[in-house]
Amino acid sequence: MSGNSRTPAGGSLEPMRTCVGCKETAPRSVLMRLVLDGDRVIVDETATKPGRGAWLHPDATCLDLAHRRRAFGRALRSPGADTSAVGLPGSSAPSTDRQQVGMKAHGHPMSPSR
């Protein structure tokens, strides 16, 4: 359905934000907010920090797109901002799963293999 992006008299609708990665709009609750902290771009997990914010899907594809386009600097009006601290929630320990799988597959670490 097109041409219905704005609903009149919709008081309870969430405000829409544009993802700086894929440029699609989404309710702010599904996007994560990024703010400038000095010269660094950080994730505003509670979306309550004052100042200008950039919005991004918590998605590796959107994060990658935003990095390549330098979209954070543009959205935050700070082209030289350091975006190295920007990360996705829940991706802090990607190696844990691999370790567990390796342990299970191995089975008997003490087995004589000679």
Q: What does the binding site for Zn ion look like in residue numbers (CB under 5 A)?
A: 19, 21-22, 57, 62
* CA distances, 48 to each of 28, 34, 39, 45, 64 (Å): 12, 10, 19, 8, 24
**Nearer to Zn ion (CB atom), residue 89 or residue 107:** 89
* Smallest distance, Zn ion to C-beta of residue 24, A: 6
**Nearer to Zn ion (CB atom), residue 55 or residue 73:** 55
* Smallest distance, Zn ion to C-beta of residue 18, A: 9
* Smallest distance, Zn ion to C-beta of residue 16, A: 13
**Nearer to Zn ion (CB atom), residue 45 or residue 101:** 45
Judged on CB neighbours under 10 Å (0-12, 13-18, 19+), 12 is exposed
Instruction: Return the ∠ at Cα 88 (arms to 84 and 82), rounded to 5°.
Output: 15
